[in-house]
Structure 1
Amino acid sequence: MRMRSEFILTEPLDEAWTAAGSAGLARRLEPGGDARAVVVVAPDGRPVSCALGFVHRLLPAPAYPRGLAGRVHVVATLPAFRRRGHARRAVSGLLDQLASEGVTRFELNASQEAAPLYEGLGFASAPSMMRMTRPIDRDGPLPGPPPTPHYAETVPKFTGYACVVLTDQGGRPVQLRATYSSSHPWQFPGGTMDHGEQPLQTALRECYEETGLAVKGPLRLLASVFTPPGGSWPYGTAGWIFDGGCLTAEEIRLITLDATEHDDVRVLSMEGWKGLMPGQDFARLEAVMAARATGIAQQITWGWGDA
């Protein structure tokens, strides 16, 4: 973003616009976004050249049957590192990446100085290109700069987790003893969501990783759990608890624990669990079991205190 501001734009951007552009670009570079970038770095790790492009959709045609086009938006190289082939490497890498995703039409605007580079890569001039910039309506309110990343810093942050409730065929809850929490030792199989996961996917994955069981369900949502920030964790958490169904005695016997997370598994009546858990943990267990019995999902607020 700084190379674009300094070497591409006719008027460099101020810090607010650079930060806002960086935040927007970061989102577009995430999986599923429309941005692609290749960066050439020096031996000391400094970025010295970059090529940034965007994928956009067209109506399919024989020349672009998947209806995908790639636009090379920024190519910039630090002055001290020019004439070394870095820009060619960056653009070639970007084009290869776009082509691997099915892009067959490529576009860019080239300065007279850079035109030989792009012609050497297969681009040809297109004199039909036209451009228009609509002026701001001076009689209306002027738009301000785009939201800065500082706004994102002001809103609440939450992490997500999901777990499953398992019982034996007598309806007694199955719980695992965590090695990493002496204050909240007994827990349902579950854990923190990975990037790109949905809650149910997390619940199934975590249950398998922590017990070796592929749960049968019915996988109804039993409860959502909200936890405000507290303890050693700086963020709030949002959790989803699903019904994992009943286990046979043989399935319970076959539970295989991950020793780095849990060291015991028990099947107890509600009265048996009451003496082993902090009050709020047991209250959460009661609410979940009530939801399982009635079919009415619960909304639970849970805190980090031990009571």
Structure 2
Amino acid sequence: MNSEALHTRRQHSGTAHAARPATPADAEGIVRLRSAFVLAEPLAKEWIVRSGAELAARLAPGGDARACVVDAPDGALASCALALLHPVLPEPASPTGRAARVHAVATHPSWRRRGYAGSVLTALLDRLRAERVSPVEADVSGASVALFRASGFCGSLAPMRMTWPEPPVRGRVDERTGHVWLPLEQYAETVMKATGFACLLFTDTSDRPVQLHGVYSATHPWQLVGGTMDPGERPWETAVRECREETGIELSGPPRLLATVYGLPGAEWPYSTMGLVFDGGRLDEGQIRNIVLDPREHDEVRVLPLPEWRPLMPPRDFARLGAVREARRTGVAAYFDTWDWGTE
């Protein structure tokens, strides 16, 4: 994402580099900074627009949002601090019955190490103090801890939080055992989620593995023929379809299972992965030469002795290939359960 996509031009004049109160015209710029540099996962364009429109209304007079910003020389936002107000019961610590939570303090990388984050946070806190908004809370972690402590925050910087994404679970209680039997739909939401795939091991007549070079994955450059199961497909049906789409080869079966593969979720993929690898058979030179690749997925077919694949593949991919080939040699299906995501 380029720097212009992260900024929204302000619609009024101001002194560059000095923190100032934000107006509704700054809303989308604030949302973009928060999306890019605060949230764990940036917002999609649709949500940036929706959130920006919501924040603009809440920054207007009478709204419950308070923000301060620093303008960059080009008129974009260099830094911002945003808080949202909420009502609480009046008490000595909150005499006006209004509290606030800081939702974002963000500075574009081009304008960091100039003290802007401290300036906007200080200006925001001054506004809240002038309005007698108290207490002010924030969820803070990492490098931001020092900034908030320097601004006067103390105590736990990661308050406990309860959310209610779904209605409280209600189920049938077994009076004898005390076990709660959930409705089917609710129980289904509690079980592990996994994606399924099906692949094929092809070799040439000398038992050298045949693999395809993927154009879309730097992590898994060389791949067995196969892919992710579509809804309603059985594993062998997936293997047959993917083989046809990726190579032009039509398989008739019967299926011969070589390996079961399992991987834990990780940074690259949020679900567990479970798959089956079938024996695609041995291809002669003519069949290999006649393979038709889908250029959107693969750009090369290569046939190599097993040891020569090692330097071309991540260790876990090579280990899986070795286990699958050994299963064909011995006739004993392999169980390979360390094909985890994001471990290399």
| 3-state SS, counterpart of residue 224 of structure 1 | strand
- Name the SS for the 2:302 alignment partner: strand
Aligned counterparts of 1:272 and 1:263: Cα–Cα separation in 2: 19
Match of 1:298 among 334, 337, 340: 334
Counterpart pick for 1:288 among 324, 339, 343: 324
Could you tell me which residue of structure 2 aligns to residue 203 of structure 1? 239
Amino acid at match of 2:186: H
* 1:287 CA drift (Å): 0.3
| Aligned twin of 2:191 | 155
Whole-angstrom distance in 1 between the partners of 2:314 and 2:285: 27
Q: Does 1:243 align with 2:251?
A: no
Mapped partners of 2:335, 2:241: distance in 1: 23
| Structure 1 partner of 2:262 | 226
Q: Distance in 1 between matches of 2:224 and 2:325?
A: 12
Q: Equivalents in 2 of 1:231, 1:180: separation in Å?
A: 17
1:11-34 deviations in Å (ceiling 9; x for gaps) = xxxxxxxxxxxxxxxxxxxxxxxx
What are the ranges of 5 or more consecutive residues in structure 2 without an aligned counterpart? 1-174
Provide TM-score, normalisation by structure 2. Answer: 0.46
| CA deviation map 1:162-181 (0-9, x unaligned) | 01100000100000011111
Instruction: Name the residue aligned to 1:176.
Output: 212
Flag the structure with more relative contact order, 1 or 2, with Cα contacts below 8 A and sequence separation at least 6. Answer: 1
Q: Distance in 2 between matches of 1:140 and 1:221?
A: 44
- Residue 150 and residue 164 in structure 1: after superposition, are their counterparts in 2 closer, same or farther (change >3 A)? same
Kept in 1, the 8 Å contact 2:214–2:297? The answer is yes
8 Å CA contact 2:268, 2:342 repeated in 1:
no
1:230 Cα deviation after fit: 1.2
Shift in alpha-carbon separation, 1:292–1:211, aligned structure 2, 3 A: same
Alignment of 1:40-189 (within 5 A): 147=183, 149-189=185-225
Query: What is the aligned partner in structure 1 of residue 55 from structure 2?
Result: none
User: Which residue does 2:117 correspond to in 1?
Assistant: none
Compute the displacement of 1:152 (Å): 2.1
Distance 1:141 1:246 in 2: 57
Distance 2:207 2:196 in 1: 27
Give 1:215 deviation, angstroms. 3.1
C-alpha change, 1:146 and 1:213, in structure 2 (3 Å) is: same
Q: Deviations over 1:245-297 (max 9, x none)?
A: 00010000000111111111100001111110111110000000000000000
Deviations 1:51-101 (A, max 9, x none): xxxxxxxxxxxxxxxxxxxxxxxxxxxxxxxxxxxxxxxxxxxxxxxxxxx
Please provide the CA RMSD for this pair.
2.3
1:258 pairs, out of 294, 307, 316, with 294
In structure 1, what is the Cα distance between the partners aligned to 2:290 and 2:217?
Answer: 24
Number of equivalences = 169
Percent identity of the aligned residues? 54
**TM-score w.r.t. structure 1 length?**
0.51
Of 192-201 and 210-219, more deviation after overlay is shown by 210-219
Distance 1:232 1:140 in 2: 45
Give the conservation status (yes or no) of the 8 Å contact 2:194–2:274. yes
**Residue 275 of structure 1: SS of its match in structure 2?**
helix
Q: CA deviation at 1:224?
A: 0.5
Read off the aligned partner of 1:268 and give its amino acid letter: L
Alignment check: 8 A CA contact 2:260 2:275 kept:
yes
The aligned amino acid for 1:280 is: R
CA contact (8 A) 2:197 2:235 kept: yes
**Amino acid in the other structure paired with 2:301:** V
Checking the alignment, whether the CA contact within 8 Å between 2:210 and 2:303 is kept in structure 1 is: yes
Deviation at 1:305, TM superposition (A): 3.5
CA contact (8 A) 1:223 1:299 kept: yes
| Whole-angstrom CA distance in 1 between matches of 2:234 and 2:323 | 23
Which of 256, 271, 274 in structure 1 is aligned with 2:307?
A: 271
